[in-house]
Structure 1
Amino acid sequence: MAEEALAKARGRSLSAFRGEAEQEWKAPFYFIQGADPQFGLMKAYAIGDCSSGGDEWDQELKLTEQAVQAINRLDPKPKFFVICGDLVHGMPGTPWREAQTRDLENVLKGLSRDIPVVFVSGNHDLGNSPTPETIEEYCRQWGDDYFAFWAGGVFFLVLNSQLYFDHSKCPEQKQAQDQWLDKQLAVAGKRACKHAVVFQHIPLFLQAPDEDHDYFNLERSVRQELMDKFRQAGIKAVFSGHYHRNAGGSYKDLEMVVSSAIGCQLGEDTHGLRVVVVTAEKIVHRYYSLDQLNNQGIEKDLMDLMKPN
Structure 2
Amino acid sequence: MSAAESATGALPRARARTLDAFPAEAEREWKGPFYFIQGADPQFGLMKAWATGDCDHGGDEWDQEIRLTQQAVQIVNQLTPRPRFFVLCGDLVHAMPGTPWRKEQTEDLQRVLGQVDTKIPLVLVSGNHDVGNSPTAETIAEFCRTWGDDYFSFWAGGVLFLVLNSQLWHDASQCPDLKEAQDRWLDQQLGLARELQCRHAVVFQHIPLFLQSISEDDDYFNLGSAIRQELADKFTRAGIKAVFSGHYHRNAGGTYGNLDMVVSSAIGCQLGKDAHGLRVVVVTAQRIVHRYYSLDELSKKGLETDLLKLLEGE
Give the Cα separation in 2 of the matches to 1:286 and 1:308: 15
Matched residue SS, 2:10: coil
Report how far residue 145 of structure 1 moved: 0.2
- Greater shift, 131-140 or 288-297, is seen at 288-297
- Find 1:71's aligned residue among 73, 76, 89: 76
Matched residue SS, 1:4: helix
1:45 aligns with 2:39: no
- Find 2:185's aligned residue among 180, 183, 195: 180
- Indicate how the Cα distance of structure 1 residues 65 and 184 shifts in structure 2: closer, same or farther if over 3 A, else same: same
Instruction: Judge conservation of contact 2:90–2:205 (CA < 8 Å) in 1.
Output: yes
- Greater shift, 265-274 or 3-12, is seen at 3-12
Give the Cα separation in 2 of the matches to 1:104 and 1:272: 17
- Find 2:37's aligned residue among 32, 41, 46: 32
1:222 aligns with 2:255: no
Matched residue SS, 2:253: strand
- Indicate how the Cα distance of structure 1 residues 267 and 2 shifts in structure 2: closer, same or farther if over 3 A, else same: closer
Alignment partner, residue 114 of structure 1: 119
Matched residue SS, 1:16: coil
- Find 1:90's aligned residue among 91, 95, 120: 95
Aligned pairs (5 A) from 1:80-159: 80-159=85-164
- Find 1:261's aligned residue among 237, 261, 266: 266
Matched residue SS, 1:17: coil
Alignment partner, residue 3 of structure 2: none
For each residue in 1:21-72, what CA deviation from the matched residue of structure 2 results, as whole angstroms up to 9, or x when unmatched?
1000001000000000000000000001111111000000000000000111
Give the Cα separation in 2 of the matches to 1:307 and 1:29: 10
Q: Structure 1: which 5+ residue stretches go unaligned?
A: none
Report how far residue 294 of structure 1 moved: 1.0
Report how far residue 5 of structure 1 moved: 1.1
Runs (4 or more) in structure 1 with deviation over 6 Å come to none
Report how far residue 308 of structure 1 moved: 2.9
Instruction: Judge conservation of contact 2:204–2:244 (CA < 8 Å) in 1.
Output: yes
Give the Cα separation in 2 of the matches to 1:203 and 1:3: 27
- What's the RMSD between the two structures over aligned residues? 1.3
For each residue in 1:233-283, what CA deviation from the matched residue of structure 2 results, as whole angstroms up to 9, or x when unmatched?
000000000000000000011000000000000000000000000000100
Q: Which amino acid aligns with 2:107?
A: R
- Indicate how the Cα distance of structure 1 residues 55 and 171 shifts in structure 2: closer, same or farther if over 3 A, else same: same
For each residue in 1:130-186, what CA deviation from the matched residue of structure 2 results, as whole angstroms up to 9, or x when unmatched?
000000000000000000000000000000000000000000000000000000000
Report how far residue 2 of structure 1 moved: 12
Give the Cα separation in 2 of the matches to 1:203 and 1:21: 31
Report how far residue 3 of structure 1 moved: 9.9
Give the Cα separation in 2 of the matches to 1:189 and 1:303: 31
- Indicate how the Cα distance of structure 1 residues 264 and 218 shifts in structure 2: closer, same or farther if over 3 A, else same: same
Q: Structure 2: which 5+ residue stretches go unaligned?
A: 1-5
1:235 aligns with 2:247: no
Give the Cα separation in 1 of the matches to 2:7 and 2:194: 37
For each residue in 1:70-100, what CA deviation from the matched residue of structure 2 results, as whole angstroms up to 9, or x when unmatched?
1111000000000000000000000100000
Give the Cα separation in 2 of the matches to 1:203 and 1:192: 25
Q: Which amino acid aligns with 2:247?
A: H
Q: Which amino acid aligns with 2:96?
A: M
Give the Cα separation in 2 of the matches to 1:3 and 1:85: 16
Alignment partner, residue 191 of structure 1: 196
Instruction: Judge conservation of contact 1:10–1:144 (CA < 8 Å) in 2.
Output: yes
Instruction: Judge conservation of contact 1:28–1:306 (CA < 8 Å) in 2.
Output: yes
Give the Cα separation in 2 of the matches to 1:58 and 1:129: 28
Instruction: Judge conservation of contact 1:281–1:308 (CA < 8 Å) in 2.
Output: no
For each residue in 1:190-232, what CA deviation from the matched residue of structure 2 results, as whole angstroms up to 9, or x when unmatched?
1131100000000000011100011000000100000000000
- Indicate how the Cα distance of structure 1 residues 135 and 25 shifts in structure 2: closer, same or farther if over 3 A, else same: same
Number of residue pairs aligned between Structure 1 and Structure 2: 309
- Greater shift, 3-12 or 91-100, is seen at 3-12
1:252 aligns with 2:257: yes
Alignment partner, residue 204 of structure 1: 209
Q: Which amino acid aligns with 1:91?
A: M
- Indicate how the Cα distance of structure 1 residues 246 and 157 shifts in structure 2: closer, same or farther if over 3 A, else same: same
Matched residue SS, 1:9: coil
Q: Which amino acid aligns with 1:222?
A: I
Give the Cα separation in 2 of the matches to 1:19 and 1:185: 16
Report how far residue 305 of structure 1 moved: 1.5
